[in-house]
Amino acid sequence: MTEKSYQIAVIPGDGTGPEVTREAVKVLKAAGTRHGFGLDFTEYDLGARRYLRTGEILPASVLEELRGFDAILLGAIGHPDIAPGLLEKGILLQMRFDLDLYINLRPVKLFPGVECPLKDKGPEHIDYVVVRENTGDVYTGAGGVMMRGTPHEVAMQTAMYTRHQVDRCLRYAFEFARRRNRRKTLALVGKTNVLTYMYEMWERAFHEMGDRDYPDIKREYYHVDATCMWMIKNPEWFDVIVTGNMFGDIITDLAAITQGGLGIAAGGNINPDGVSMFEPMGGSAPKYAGQNVINPLAAICAGGMLLDTLGERVAAKTVEDAVIWTTANKVRNLAAGQMGYSTTEVGDLVATRVAG
Ligand code: IPM
Ligand code: MN
């Protein structure tokens, strides 16, 4: 019998992106060897270097090729010499739309040994998942500016959701809460008191779907502003959160800092029926680039999520356990340059642990 093998596209990107993806690939290979599957990695040079060299951001031919992979691993996008947002919108957001990566999955888990900025909170209090809708809301780019540069200038940027977008996101979140099988609670985060059209539709869809298909899942609702307070004061209340794109963007950064920050936070941009992309939450951190001091744990965690989504659940758990062992016993300070280990050494620690 031939060994199962997955085709993985790697986009190392800019700044410290290549350094952290290298370590993630190292750990993924170790997981494959341990659990009996192969991984073939194909690199794509998207990001600042390609843009500065050729003017290309995300060529259609590359996008087509990406569709053919089992998963995509991305390092970081963004460069100090390039106008902020150009590459982020042109690559990250474009991939989300064109590959229909309609779920942004953000596990929020405080690992043992990691310093938490919240008073009296430990790993037993911070362990939830945010399901952020990833294609709609203000991110669609609908809007415009009129009478630009005059005193009467008008700027509009429209938040919008289709019922289809809302339903497929809710479906994913309910299924996730069921599979996660912890408190079996799904919290909708919105702003029904002000966004009375958009989040009213979310709330109606939420209860309709819950009543019809998920009687085993408890439903809660929080306004987004209150959520920001509870995430700090009572993070243990949360199990699975589902929300729109803009609120999800904001609360997942808040959540990231409660789990130890960008050195550890990872996310998945998921198309449940197609190819998905996984990335560390941190940016390209240009001031640390090329120094072998950046923390690769977030990229390694992104690799773990990638395995989980491929269905390699046991291997994903091995990776997470190895990261937990590393934070509990070795790398207690997650900040770049303060880990007590180099980027490569941290990758080696995890990979060795994964190899068993
Ligand atoms: C994220 C990022 C992106 C977003 C930016 C880079 C466009 O902040 O993935 O959360 O706003 O979604
Ligand atoms: Mn963000």
- Tell how far the Cα of 249 is from the centroid of ligand 1, in angstroms: 7
Does residue 252 share a domain with residue 237?
A: yes
> Are residue 17 and residue 106 in the same domain, yes or no?
yes
Q: How many angstroms from the chain centroid is the CA of residue 328?
A: 23
Given a cut of 60, whether residue 1 has pLDDT beyond it is no
Same structural domain for residues 272 and 210? Answer: no
Residue 2's pLDDT band, with cuts at 50, 70 and 90, is low
Is pLDDT above 70 for 16? yes
The answer to whether 109 is a known catalytic residue is no
Active-site annotation holds for 273: no
232 and 266 housed in the same domain:
no
Is the domain of 223 the same as that of 208?
A: yes
Active site residue 121: no
pLDDT tens digits for range 259-288: 999 999 999 999 999 999 999 999 999 999
Residue 242: give its domain's CATH number: 3.40.50.2300
The model's pLDDT over 111-149, given as tens digits with 9 standing for 90+, comes to: 999 999 999 999 999 999 999 999 999 999 999 999 999
Amino acid letter, 118 = L
Residue 278 φ/ψ, nearest 5 degrees:
-120, 140
Percentage of the chain exceeding pLDDT 70: 99
From 191, 222, 239, 288, the catalytic residue: 191
For residues 1 and 108, state if they share a domain: yes
Which of 244, 259, 274 is at the close of a domain?
259
Whether 150 is covered by a domain: the verdict is no
Average pLDDT over residues 300-318: 98
d(CA 166, CA 302): 25
205 CB within 6 A, ligand 1:
no
Q: Is the pLDDT of residue 3 over 80?
A: no
Range 199-211 burial, b when 16+ CB lie within 10 A, else e: bebbbebbeebbe
- The mean pLDDT value of the chain amounts to 97
Q: Which ligand is nearest to the CA of 254?
A: 2
Residue 40 included in any domain: yes
Share of the chain above pLDDT 90, in %: 99
Residue 289 has pLDDT above 90, yes or no: yes
Give the per-residue pLDDT at 330.
96
For residue 335, what are the domain limits?
Answer: 1-113+261-356
Averaged over 99-111, what is the pLDDT? Answer: 98
Contact 66, 73 (CB under 8 A): no
250 falls within a domain: yes
Instruction: Express each pLDDT in 312-332 by its tens digit.
Output: 999 999 999 999 999 999 998
Within a domain: 135 = no
Instruction: Tell which of 259, 287, 305 closes a domain.
Output: 259
Ligand nearest 105 Cα, by number?
Answer: 1
Final residue before a domain boundary, out of 259, 280, 296: 259
93 lines ligand 1 (CB under 6 A): yes
| Ligand having the closest approach to the CA of 250 | 2
Task: State whether the beta carbon of 92 lies less than 6 angstroms from ligand 1.
Answer: yes
Asked about 211 being catalytic, the answer comes back as no
* Residue nearest to ligand 1 atom 8, measured at CA: 249
Q: Where are the alpha helices (DSSP H) in the chain?
A: 17-35, 48-54, 60-67, 86-87, 94-98, 163-180, 198-213, 224-233, 245-258, 297-310, 313-329, 343-355
Mean pLDDT across 32-58: 97
- Alpha-carbon distance 267 to 21, whole Å? 14
Tell which phi-psi region holds residue 100, choosing left (phi > 0), alpha (psi between -120 and 50) or beta: left
Residue in 98, 100, 213, 253 annotated catalytic: 253
Query: Do 57 and 45 share a structural domain?
Result: yes
The pLDDT tens digits of the residues spanning 185-216 come to 999 999 999 999 999 999 999 999 999 999 99
Instruction: Report how far ligand 1's centroid is from the alpha carbon of 37 (Å).
Output: 32
Look at the chain and report how many structural domains it folds into. Answer: 2
